[in-house]
Structure 1
Amino acid sequence: MYKLVAIDLDGTLLDDDKNIPKENIDLINKLIDRGYEVVIATGRRYWSAKQFLKDIDRSLVVLANNGNIVRYISNDEILIKKCLNLDDFKILIEESKKRGLNPILHVDRYEDGYDMVIEMKENNSVYSNYISPHEKRYKIVENYLELDDDILAVIFVGDKDILEDFYLDINKKYPNRYSSHIMENIQNAEALLEIMNPLGNKWLSLKEYAQKKGISPEEIIAIGDDNNDAQMIKNAGCGIAMKNASQQVKEVADIITKKDNNQAGVAFELRRILKL
């Protein structure tokens, strides 16, 4: 019997226009009303995720920044928090600058009105596809290495081959120091590399939250579309890949949805599995 349903946002619960189809909203409300734990598991910042969930009038848990920060959406209470070790963060910044890369930092400053930190002027082209000019939830600093914020994730956006080369090099030089993945199923760039605390991934935080609720991995359904969802889809009792998912995710899934994110594939598949 399943007790918890973990759902990714982009490419999964959201359609390509970044809206939640009505069928998905109705399905989530029904799940919660019937006693299921519903967790939104996303790579997005908590503030950003919360904006997309305003149409759901039920209490949810949001597992944001790929599990590095987990909060109750009703009161913003922090349940789980994982940050990069300061020395590991400095190594990462120094290594990335050797390659001319421009990292974007995700930080835990939700209550202070910002969630990102950048080191250059906000209108610089290296940020143009990632930071919205209408959203001012970021801080500009002169030097990342002088920062004292809690770092949830370091993000690199750009050419897939360049990011893959950096990803492989970092993991070879500093094994087990970081959790990282490259996302391909995105709209605003060719690829996106996220580097985090070594225990910072969706599955480990989801499992930790579930254990607190007395829920075993076998009682979890996880559904997603991109490479940062692969571990939770592989390890959950029922792992579901969206029809529009990356090949890596489809290879570890138990089920591939018959409908994609623009066709409310989440609602369609969960209704079938849970006989709703």
Structure 2
Amino acid sequence: MKQKLITLDLDGTTLNSSSQLSPKTIKTIKNATKAGHIVSIATGRPYRMARDIYDELSLKTPMANFNGALMHVPHQKWDGEYSRTINKAVVYDLLKHKDEYNIQLLAVESKYAFLADHAAPASFDFFPHEILEEQILTEKTLRRNPTSITLLVEPHSAQLVKNQLLHHYGEYISVGVWGGPQSVLEIVSKGIQKAKAVAYLANYYNIDRQDIIAFGDEHNDAEMLDYVGRGVAMKNATAQIKNIANDITEYDNAEDGVANYLNDYLKLAE
């Protein structure tokens, strides 16, 4: 089969319901790589929460973090690396107006750096429950423009806060709202989306758009699935994503949906 570029979302897609890789998924991705296909991760996760998954899959390809705001090859220097950052003045302003936006937690990240205004509550596992003094977010500790801003806001207020943020900072930022029980907003530089990261990768590898396969399940995968030649929605994907996709997996993320689809589509030896 002609060489394919395969781009994988992680949560709700490649990872199971325990946020882990199954043995079958690991074996399938390694077999796809051995068969000559290019497998790459495109995730909203920061690097710190994707590095171990990348290593478990034995990947050597570039990875997109923060929904495409960071593109890099882990563990090595790569000339194609980029990081699209947000002016730190936006963060300074958010720190001053936390109460107005009902912000319960404000955190910023880049490839290696993490700062937060305080440790995360026990109910919120995305960020550390204990942080060092030098990781406390202030105007003094934030010396460089971050790649991502994450806000935990009052329950059910995410959409309202998103509208307020876009009203004040819309010239500089894009805002995503997480699915799930918590009201979380994810902020990146304006125009950032996974589709642009995938296009960048395809250009780097000289892969035609029609030869890209992408898997996803949530709103931040929409542009990516729409852009590629074969956008595949998970069985557990949102209705919006299923409507955009070219195909839907027979099994969900807890049932090795990605692995089963790739084994069948690429005719991999299981």
Query: How would you bin the TM-score normalised by the shorter chain?
Result: 0.7 to 0.9
Unaligned runs of 5+ residues in structure 2 are none
In structure 2, the residue matched to 1:140 is 135
1:55-114 Cα shifts (integer Å, max 9, x gaps):
22342322111111122134264712111123444445555542221343342252xxxx
8 Å CA contact 2:84, 2:189 repeated in 1:
yes
Q: Distance in 2 between matches of 1:153 and 1:142?
A: 13
Pair 1:258 & 2:250 matched: yes
Answer yes or no: is the 8 Å Cα contact 2:209–2:228 preserved in 1: yes
Structure 1 Cα separation of the partners of residues 216 and 144 of structure 2: 30
Q: 1:218 offset after TM fit, Å? A: 2.2
**Counterpart for residue 116 of structure 2:** 118
1:8 aligns with 2:9: yes
Question: In the alignment, is the contact (CA less than 8 A) between 2:66 and 2:188 conserved in 1?
Answer: no
Provide the secondary structure at the position in 1 that maps to 2:147.
strand
Contact preservation (8 Å) 1:2, 1:221: no
CA distance in structure 2 between the aligned counterparts of 1:119 and 1:208, rounded to whole angstroms: 34
Percent identical residues = 24
1:138-192 per-position Cα deviation (integer Å, ceiling 9, x unaligned): 95335247621331111123556311111123224444421221121x4xx4342
Whether 2:202 is the aligned partner of 1:210: answer yes
Q: How far apart are 1:272 and its partner, in Å?
A: 2.4
Q: Which runs of 5+ in 1 are unaligned?
A: none
Instruction: Find the counterpart in structure 2 of residue 130 from structure 1.
Output: 126
Q: Which residue identity lines up with residue 133 of structure 1 in the other structure?
A: H
Is contact 1:93–1:103 with CA below 8 Å preserved after alignment?
Answer: no
3-state SS of the aligned residue for 2:157? Answer: helix
Q: Could you tell me which amino acid in structure 2 is paired with residue 262 of structure 1?
A: A
TM-score (structure 2 length as normaliser): 0.86
Contact 1:45 1:64 in 2 (8 A): yes
Deviation at 1:207, TM superposition (A): 1.0
Tell me, yes or no, if the aligned pair for 2:67 and 2:193 is still in contact at 8 Å: yes
Alignment of 1:1-276 (within 5 A): 1=2, 3-75=4-76, 77=78, 79-94=81-96, 96-108=98-110, 110=112, 115-120=113-118, 122=119, 125=121, 128-133=124-129, 139-141=134-136, 143-144=138-139, 147-159=142-154, 161-184=156-179, 186=180, 189-276=181-268
DSSP-derived class of the 1:193 partner: strand
- RMSD (Å) for aligned C-alpha atoms: 2.7
- CA–CA distance in structure 1, aligned partners of residues 17 and 132 of structure 2: 23
Task: Indicate the larger mover: 100-109 or 15-24.
Answer: 100-109
Which residue identity is paired with 2:53? F
Deviation at 1:240, TM superposition (A): 0.9
CA separation in 2, counterparts of 1:13 and 1:236? 18
Q: How many equivalent residue pairs?
A: 266
Evaluate the alpha carbon distance shift between residue 142 and residue 53 of structure 1 in structure 2; reply closer, same or farther with a 3 A threshold.
closer
